[in-house]
């Protein structure tokens, strides 16, 4: 009964995965009948001769880091508020989760317009409040492009972080909160004494999601900047796409794929096995 | 008492501010979709002075959004149909039937959940080329099924594990085969869970950009997200008001699903954190 699923998974996940490792050892251009075996040359080039690749790794790290640092505290705060004030909370929850169900391409276009130098609301707002000197082409400026993208990322995913936190908090039996209230704990004490320890594991899980998510990041950057200006906003997946399909170097693209697979897999396994088990022990 | 009230007011202000930031860009796009391009540049903040539906007609016809919506509907519905058929079977077998190498089978089926599909874009494209499925809806659907099965199976397994063993035992005593137990007893019980999986998968496939972007070539085959991008970079690259209309059209189906099934969607999405 699991055979149909195995066929799909085998053909579309494991077979390409194996071929990715094989292709990463070759130089090729998609059309030529002969693949040139180059050993580990693609990997040497990546780490020693490809500054954009290294920059893309840095961007992935920044993306994961800022997502964890900004979304987790805000998400936890919002989740506690939503659960405490249930009636207003329901509506608020519905609103902040909304961006997550809209396609990333649509959302990226909307934010490209928000950042537009002429009619974009960000600049219009800055000029309206007398901060016109700060107005700039946010996505075209080498100093602000990445920050502008991060802003959009947080706008999309804050609802998801909050929702996952709410699911965790709901798994705590309400009697614990009741007895805390009887003992006279204030809202903040209640949060620190009961909620936070129970949230520790969730925080690790959210960090795992942020890290693996950063390695799966593609749409937003491709739509908003295509990796520009001057290749400063590439993440590994956009650089993989450029190398494989725009520069027609599928071998090099496959080699970047190997690193995406290895990095995300190794880091995530490390988080699950080491960090999480330390916390739960 | 006063301090308590003041705190509540402050909290209200903060929540209202966050709501405004969350909803504003979407609302702005709705307003813009009813403006003219001239109005957009002169009055980027104003309400449309003379609301026009012309942008929507333009997006649907010249912007190819009508065709793309139908394509996306075909691709999404086919994908969820196949997944709803295959995933519950595999989840049931790997959680409730004893057989050799069951753990291995279960791990193999779920492993894909931890792998970024982006990593294998090149070999996946070559596979579709060998199968003659480049630029076809079939190739796209099969890829979506393959890559969405791991989550679907993981989610369904959590349900089957929770079904009491006694139900299965008494069915065995009545002489039912594994397959009849599945189709007559387990499947009807699993329907609400299958619906959740189907909705989550539908939203994922409807919104997917990556596979469509790499595998599709002709605009007549485009799904919604890639068609959106094509509309904004092509001949109508400066027609922002028509693009706004296209964005609104593209988001309607998933927003409708979200308003109807909010609870199911949130539960399914939260599961991604606890499934591991």
Contact A63, A238 (CB under 8 A): no
More confident residue, B7 or B89: B89
Nearest to A145 by CA among A212, A208, A227, A43: A227
| Alpha carbons A175 and A172: distance in angstroms, whole number | 9
Q: Determine phi and psi for A37, rounding to 5 degrees.
A: -70, 125
Position A169 scores a pLDDT of 83
**Ranges of H-type helices in B119-239:** 121-130, 137-162, 165-173, 178-180, 187-207, 210-215, 224-233
Confidence of residue B36 (pLDDT cuts 50, 70, 90): very high
| Contact assignment for B142 to A8 by CB distance below 8 Å | yes
| Contact assignment for A124 to B40 by CB distance below 8 Å | no
A113, A119, A260: residue with CB nearest B118? A260
| Helix/strand/coil (H/E/C) assignment for every residue in chain A | CCHHHHHHHHHHHHHHHHHHHHHCCEECCCCCCCCEECCCHHHHHHHHHCHHHHHHHHHHHHHHHHHHHHHHHHHHHHHHHHHHCHHHHHHHHHHHHHHHHCCHHHHHHHHHHHCCCCCCHHHHHHHHCCCHHHCCCCCCCCCCHHHHHHHHHHHHHHHHHHHHHHHHHHCCCHHHHHHHHHCCCCHHHHHHHHHHHHHHHHHHHHHHHHHHHHHCCCHHHHHHCCCCCCCCCCCHHHHHHHHHHHCCCHHHHHHHHHHHHHHHHHHHHHHHHHHHHHHHC
For range B235-242, the mean pLDDT: 91
Partners of residue A261 in chain B, C-beta under 8 Å: 115-116, 119-120
A70: Cβ contacts below 8 Å, ≥ 6 apart: A154
| Contact assignment for A15 to B123 by CB distance below 8 Å | yes
Interface test with B, best of A109, A204, A236 (most B CBs within 10 A): A109
B11, B228, B229: residue with CB nearest A81? B11
Other CB atoms within 10 A of residue B61 CB: 11
Name the strand (E) or helix (H) holding B246.
helix B240-274
Distance (Å) from the alpha carbon of B112 to chain A's nearest alpha carbon: 7
A27 pairs with which residues across the strands? A36
| Contact assignment for A9 to B265 by CB distance below 8 Å | no
| Alpha carbons A79 and A166: distance in angstroms, whole number | 5
By C-alpha distance, the chain B residue nearest A91 is: B19
| Contact assignment for B228 to A114 by CB distance below 8 Å | no
Partners of residue B11 in chain A, C-beta under 8 Å: 81, 85
Partners of residue B269 in chain A, C-beta under 8 Å: 100, 160, 163-164
Both tokens assigned to B6: 């003041």
Partners of residue B258 in chain A, C-beta under 8 Å: 97-98, 101
By C-alpha distance, the chain B residue nearest A93 is: B19
Position A277 scores a pLDDT of 67
Partners of residue A205 in chain B, C-beta under 8 Å: 273-274, 276
More confident residue, A175 or B94: B94
| Contact assignment for A114 to B28 by CB distance below 8 Å | yes
A9, A120, A219: residue with CB nearest B108? A9
Partners of residue A121 in chain B, C-beta under 8 Å: 24-25, 28, 44-45
SS3 assignment, position B63: coil
For range B17-37, the mean pLDDT: 96
| Contact assignment for A95 to B19 by CB distance below 8 Å | yes
B181: Cβ contacts below 8 Å, ≥ 6 apart: B168, B171, B172
Confidence of residue B64 (pLDDT cuts 50, 70, 90): very high
Distance (Å) from the alpha carbon of A175 to chain B's nearest alpha carbon: 23
Contact A149, A165 (CB under 8 A): no
By C-alpha distance, the chain B residue nearest A271 is: B276
| Contact assignment for B87 to A5 by CB distance below 8 Å | yes
By C-alpha distance, the chain A residue nearest B180 is: A1
Architecture of the domain made up of B64-274: Orthogonal Bundle (1.10)
Position A170 scores a pLDDT of 83
SS3 assignment, position B144: helix
Position B275 scores a pLDDT of 46
Distance (Å) from the alpha carbon of B255 to chain A's nearest alpha carbon: 7
Partners of residue A237 in chain B, C-beta under 8 Å: 116, 118
Name the strand (E) or helix (H) holding B12.
helix B2-32
Distance (Å) from the alpha carbon of B15 to chain A's nearest alpha carbon: 8
Partners of residue A258 in chain B, C-beta under 8 Å: 119
Both tokens assigned to A258: 């190997």
A49-280 in CATH: which number?
A: 1.10.3720.10
Partners of residue B118 in chain A, C-beta under 8 Å: 215-216, 218, 237, 240-241, 257, 260
**Cα A186–chain centre separation:** 35
| Contact assignment for A218 to B210 by CB distance below 8 Å | yes
Per-residue confidence in pLDDT tens, chain A, 281 aa: 889 999 999 999 999 999 999 999 999 998 888 899 999 999 999 999 999 999 999 999 999 999 999 999 999 999 989 988 888 899 999 999 999 999 999 999 999 999 999 999 999 999 999 998 999 999 999 999 999 999 999 999 999 999 999 988 887 777 777 777 777 777 777 777 777 777 787 888 889 889 989 999 999 999 999 998 999 999 999 999 999 999 999 999 999 999 999 998 888 888 777 766 666 55
Distance (Å) from the alpha carbon of B10 to chain A's nearest alpha carbon: 13
Interface test with B, best of A9, A251, A267, A275 (most B CBs within 10 A): A9
For range B151-177, the mean pLDDT: 89
Note the ipTM here.
Answer: 0.94
Partners of residue A106 in chain B, C-beta under 8 Å: 225, 228, 247, 250-251
By C-alpha distance, the chain A residue nearest B95 is: A2
| Alpha carbons B226 and B215: distance in angstroms, whole number | 11
Domain-wise residue ranges, chain A: 49-280
Partners of residue B226 in chain A, C-beta under 8 Å: 105
By C-alpha distance, the chain A residue nearest B145 is: A8
């Amino acid at each position: 009964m699991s055979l149909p699923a195995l066929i799909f998974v085998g053909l579309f996940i494991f077979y390409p995965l194996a071929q990715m490792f094989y292709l990463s050892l070759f130089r090729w251009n998609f059309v030529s009948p002969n693949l040139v075996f180059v050993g580990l040359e693609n990997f040497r080039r990546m780490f020693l001769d490809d500054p954009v690749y290294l920059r893309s790794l840095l961007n992935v790290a920044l993306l994961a880091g800022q997502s964890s640092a900004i979304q987790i505290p805000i998400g936890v705060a919002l989740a506690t508020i939503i659960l405490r004030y249930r009636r207003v909370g329901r509506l608020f929850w519905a609103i902040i989760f909304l961006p997550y169900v809209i396609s990333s391409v649509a959302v990226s276009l909307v934010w490209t317009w928000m950042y537009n130098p002429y009619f974009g609301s960000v600049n219009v707002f800055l000029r309206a409040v007398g901060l016109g000197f700060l107005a700039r082409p946010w996505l075209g400026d080498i100093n602000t492009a990445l920050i502008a993208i991060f802003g959009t990322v947080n706008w999309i995913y804050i609802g998801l972080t909050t929702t996952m936190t709410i699911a965790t908090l709901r798994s705590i039996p309400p009697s614990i909160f009741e007895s805390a209230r009887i003992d006279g704990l204030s809202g903040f004490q209640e949060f620190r004494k009961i909620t936070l320890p129970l949230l520790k594991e969730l925080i690790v899980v959210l960090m795992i999601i942020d890290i693996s998510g950063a390695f799966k990041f593609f749409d937003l950057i491709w739509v908003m900047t295509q990796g520009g200006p001057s290749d400063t906003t590439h993440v590994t997946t956009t650089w993989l796409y450029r190398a494989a399909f725009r520069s027609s170097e599928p071998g090099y693209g496959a080699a970047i794929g190997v690193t995406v697979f290895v990095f995300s897999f190794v880091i995530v396994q490390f988080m699950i096995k080491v960090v999480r088990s330390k916390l739960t022990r | 008492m006063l301090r308590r009230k003041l705190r509540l007011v402050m909290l209200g202000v903060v929540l209202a501010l966050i709501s405004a930031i969350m909803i504003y860009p979407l609302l702005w796009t709705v307003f813009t979709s009813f403006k003219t391009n001239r109005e957009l540049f002169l009055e980027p903040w104003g309400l449309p002075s003379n609301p026009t539906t012309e942008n929507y007609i333009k997006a649907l016809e010249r912007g190819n959004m009508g065709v793309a919506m139908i394509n996306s509907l075909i691709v999404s519905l086919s994908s969820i149909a196949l997944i709803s058929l295959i995933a519950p079977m595999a989840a049931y077998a790997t959680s409730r039937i004893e057989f050799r190498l069951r753990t291995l089978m279960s791990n193999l089926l779920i492993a894909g959940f931890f792998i970024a599909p982006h990593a294998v874009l090149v070999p996946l494209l070559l596979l579709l080329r060998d199968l003659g499925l480049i630029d076809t809806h079939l190739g796209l659907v099969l890829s979506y099924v393959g890559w969405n099965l791991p989550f679907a199976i993981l989610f369904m397994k959590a349900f089957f594990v929770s079904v009491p063993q006694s139900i299965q035992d008494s069915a065995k005593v009545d002489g039912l085969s594994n397959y009849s137990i599945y189709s007559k007893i387990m499947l009807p019980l699993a329907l609400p869970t299958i619906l959740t999986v189907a909705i989550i998968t539908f939203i994922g496939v409807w919104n997917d950009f990556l596979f469509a972007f790499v595998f599709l070539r002709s605009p007549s085959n485009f799904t919604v997200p890639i068609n959106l991008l094509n509309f904004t970079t092509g001949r109508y690259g400066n027609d922002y008001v028509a693009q706004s209309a296209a964005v609104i059209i593209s988001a309607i189906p998933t927003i409708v699903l979200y308003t109807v099934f909010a609870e199911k969607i949130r539960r399914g999405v939260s599961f991604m954190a606890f499934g591991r």
